[in-house]
Structure 1
Amino acid sequence: MRRIVVLTGAGISQESGLQTFRGADGLWNNEHIEHICTPEGFRRDPLRVDRFYNDLRARLPAVHPNAAHLALAALEQAARNGQWPGHLTIITQNIDDLHERAGSQNVIHMHGELLRLRCTHCGMTPTWRTDCYPDTPCPGCHTPALRPDIVWFGEMPYHMDTIAQRLAECDLFVAIGTSGVVYPAAGFVDSVADHADTMLFNLEVPSGPSAFEQIIPGPATRTVPAWTRDLLDR
């Protein structure tokens, strides 16, 4: 049975029209990272941080899964139905819910989820689709101690033990639409080098040396569906 781990980054969601954090028109061009993406920034000005993530949350319903999201979901569904002899795990650096809306179930959000909050008092992580402010009470303990359930700079990504296990078990590691510069995700390809094949789907070929054995340039909406169709036709 083929065990595939797919790492997705901002590039796959960008093709759905979702503005990325990095890049020429990135969200961080309008905000200082230390103000909105660090625990210190939240402690200093929680209202500013809440308003930033409220705005992102409000935009999400207008964005829809694209052909790459749907292709990955179809591959997972084929495995569940016994139509493809494999297992697919998606590790995403993205905080949107596009993989889930496409139909994927085996999704690990290593950087948290935009549609979830975390109570710093009781630890509850409620699903959240409306605005949140510093005085918004936690639905569990009723304390106004909610924050975005997002991994900020200086914080440990989520589910790292599970991610390490999936990487150790896989025989194919695929990265889609990720710059590959933010650790620990940037080190995933090196961690599987002794036991798994590696592929990179990216809009452009990296300018420098790459640790990936195979690089497929082009938009993920074209290249990923072609790859999954090939897997299902074998």
Structure 2
Amino acid sequence: MEKIVILTGAGISAESGLSTFRDEGGLWAQHRIEDVATPEGFARDPALVQGFYNARRVQASKVQPNAAHEALARLQRDWPGDVVIVTQNVDSLHEAGGAKDVIHMHGTLAGALCSACGHRWTAPPEMAVGESCPACARPTARPDVVWFGEIPYYMDEIYDHLSSASIFAAIGTSGQVYPAAAFVHEAQAAGARTIEINLEPSPGASGFDERLVGKATQTVPRWVGHLLAPHS
């Protein structure tokens, strides 16, 4: 059966109340990206970075999945083939909406990482500067989030899925950050039909076979319903 590979970005969680890089107001508007989302920023001011991600963790704990998250979980449950969800988001809204085995290419707010030994564990609600790794005991805990300049997680697995995709969808993502911006080309090279679903067309929208424009909570359930109609 046909495999569907879906890439989601900040736009799918925005309607649940999580701010994006480009929102005026909100957490991101209060900081420069290079100060809170780079290894250099963490080395320079770990207290600022830990405080920023503690605030993001609190924000994420207060929101609920929306109709778009729930529709993708329904697609995963009812589609006769595989549905692989890859997300650039670090929240857990896909899982809260019922999705399984989500590939978090940029890590998760719920995770902690030892920058010394690479051990991972569940982050406490508030991470302190100099928090110890439970594996090596060094005071080198950081958020398990991929920062600018770092390599996203699970890339080999993602490319394997793209190479066998029959349908590729990019939902709520700007399409400007690599390597994710190139996923549509990988999927097309494998013969997949491609669709972008976004609040407004991205700069790379013309590279997709099909485009749906509108709120994710409206467009994604409609698209899922269209896909599942022949199988219901």
Q: TM-score range by the shorter chain?
A: over 0.9
Closer, same or farther: CA 92–132 of 1 in aligned 2, 3 Å: same
Query: What secondary structure, in the 3-state scheme, does the structure 1 residue paired with 2:197 have?
Result: strand
Gaps of 5+ in 1: 79-83
Letter of the structure 1 residue corresponding to residue 176 of structure 2: V
1:232 aligns with 2:228: yes
What's the counterpart of residue 176 of structure 1?
171
Query: What secondary structure, in the 3-state scheme, does the structure 2 residue paired with 1:164 have?
Result: helix
On the 8 A contact 2:196/2:205 being kept in 1, the answer is: no
User: Residue 213 of structure 1 is aligned with which of 185, 188, 209?
Assistant: 209
User: Residue 149 of structure 1 is aligned with which of 137, 144, 151?
Assistant: 144
Take 1:40 and 1:180, find their aligned partners in 2: how far apart are those partners? 25
Gaps of 5+ in 2: none
Q: What's the offset of the Cα at 1:26? A: 5.5
On the 8 A contact 2:168/2:187 being kept in 1, the answer is: yes
Q: What's the offset of the Cα at 1:201? A: 0.6
On the 8 A contact 1:57/1:129 being kept in 2, the answer is: no
On the 8 A contact 2:170/2:197 being kept in 1, the answer is: yes
The CA deviation string for residues 98-131 of structure 1, in whole angstroms up to 9 with x for no partner, is 0011111131111111110101223211112410
Closer, same or farther: CA 50–209 of 1 in aligned 2, 3 Å: closer
Take 1:120 and 1:209, find their aligned partners in 2: how far apart are those partners? 37
Identity %: 51
Equivalent runs, 1:34-53 vs 2, <5 Å: 34-53=34-53
User: Residue 134 of structure 2 is aligned with which of 136, 139, 145?
Assistant: 139
What's the counterpart of residue 107 of structure 1?
102
Number of equivalent positions: 229
Take 1:73 and 1:207, find their aligned partners in 2: how far apart are those partners? 28
Take 1:38 and 1:166, find their aligned partners in 2: how far apart are those partners? 28
Over aligned residue pairs, what C-alpha RMSD do you find? 1.5
Normalising to structure 1: TM-score of the pair? Answer: 0.93
The CA deviation string for residues 148-195 of structure 1, in whole angstroms up to 9 with x for no partner, is 111111111111000100000101100100110001111111122231
Letter of the structure 1 residue corresponding to residue 7 of structure 2: L
Letter of the structure 1 residue corresponding to residue 134 of structure 2: P
